[in-house]
Amino acid sequence: MKSDIRVCSAWREAHDSPVYTLSGTCPDCGAETANSAPAPFDPNDPYGEYRRALKRRRR
């Protein structure tokens, strides 16, 4: 069965972590959500720490 779980398309800019929802827009920032099926984010992403470090450095 196909999953209808969606993820905020702008979570990288707007949030510290992915915001999952069943609605078409993010409940937090109102951005459009994307189907999470082709997972844009892996909770076990080995590069997650690296990516967050990069983000921190850019501030």
For the chain, report the end-to-end CA distance as a whole number of angstroms.
41
Which residue's CB is nearer to Zn ion, number 24 or number 46? 24
Going residue by residue from 3 to 32, which x/- string records binding to Zn ion, judged by CB under 5 A?
-----x-----x----x------x-xx-x-
CA gap 39, 11 in Å, rounded: 13
Residue 28 Cα distances to 15, 33, 44, 56, angstroms: 9, 11, 23, 21
Position 34 contacts Zn ion (CB under 5 A): no
Tell me how many residues contact Zn ion (CB under 5 A): 7
By CB under 5 A, name the binding residues for Zn ion. 8, 14, 19, 26, 28-29, 31
